[in-house]
Structures are given as C-alpha cells and as structure tokens.
Amino acid sequence: MTANYADTGILLKSYVLEANSNEAEFTLREMGAPFCYSQIHGLEISNAIRLKVFRREITAAQASAALRAFRADLDKGLLERSAAVLPAIFLRAEKLSEKHSAKLGTRSLDLLHVAAALESGCKRFASLDARQRECARLETLELHPAEIPRDVGTEKP
C-alpha cells in the first residue's frame, strides 16, 4: 500500500477549481502518486462534486467531467484502493475521538480520514484542514504541505 493519504478536501481541488487548488495540486505532485483511496473517498468526492452543482458552483457538464477525471485516476492507479475495512476505520476513528476531539474540535469525517490513513499503513497525510492536520500530527503522520497557507481556514468539501 502507498504511504500517501490525501483527505477529500485536497483531492477535490484537483478535480474542481476551488480556492487553493494550486496549493493542493502542488502538494499532490510533491508527494507523488499513488495515493491511498479509502471507501470514504468514493462517496465523499462524488457527493462533493454533485453538491457543487446543487449550489450552482459548477455546471452539470463540469461535474460530469470532474467525475470522469476522478474515475480515470482510479483506473490509472493514481488512487490505490486500500484494503482497510470500514469497521476497523470506524473503531480507530472512535478511539481518535476519545483521545483528541475534546481538545481539537475535530469533526467525524476528519477523524475518519485520519483513521483510514492509519489503518491503511500510510505515513504521509495531505490536508488543508488545521484541526484534522493536528490530529494527524499527534498520531505521527507526516503532514503535507508542511504549513498551510494563511488564507486557508478549516476546509469543508
């Protein structure tokens, strides 16, 4: 399994133009493919793209193109399916919640991504979300980018 994990917020920026898409693209290139693809990514990336249509941030045609690009990356092996199973990921996320949420304010999906990275054996973690990054750091994952840009707050796909 690959040592690289990118949360949905950073991966999404490579399929749909958003604020900080350039930073996300640079980070993904710098880390190098392949990236771990957990079961969480499938639903979350596809749904985030479809939500952008609902919010009128992109057109249906742009969403179709983004979904095709996402599936093409899966087919090319740039996103590598993780063998980690959801029950183990959820159990690990619950333990992370007990350990960190009261101090960090991490959301459930933040924890699920960190748990998926850990359960998949990843060593490097890409995210622009400050709370998620702190949780990953405390769990000894190497953070990418090394620092988040000043104009980035907590990312929400």
The ranges assigned to domains in the chain are 4-144
Confidence (pTM): 0.90
Residue 45, CA atoms < 13 Å, CB-side half-sphere = 27
Q: How far apart are the C-alpha atoms of 35 and 31, rounded to whole Å?
A: 9
Each residue's pLDDT, cut to its tens digit, for the chain (157 residues) gives 679 999 999 999 999 999 889 999 999 999 999 999 998 998 999 999 999 999 999 999 999 999 999 999 999 999 999 999 999 999 999 999 999 999 999 999 999 999 999 999 999 999 999 999 999 999 999 999 988 876 555 444 4
Q: How is 18-76 classified by DSSP, letter by letter?
A: -TTHHHHHHHHHHH-S-EEE-HHHHHHHHHHHHHHHHTTSS-HHHHHHHHHHHHHHHHH
Report whether 126 contacts 28 (CB < 8 A): yes
The reply to whether CATH 3.40.50.1010 applies to domain 4-144 is: yes
Q: How far apart are the C-alpha atoms of 47 and 43, rounded to whole Å?
A: 6
pLDDT given at position 56: 97
Q: How far apart are the C-alpha atoms of 119 and 130, rounded to whole Å?
A: 21
- Categorise residue 131: left if φ over 0, alpha if ψ from -120 to 50, beta otherwise: alpha
pLDDT given at position 148: 83
Q: Is the C-alpha dihedral spanning 92, 93, 98, 102 positive or negative?
A: positive
Report whether 16 contacts 45 (CB < 8 A): no
Residue at token pair 């350039």: 22
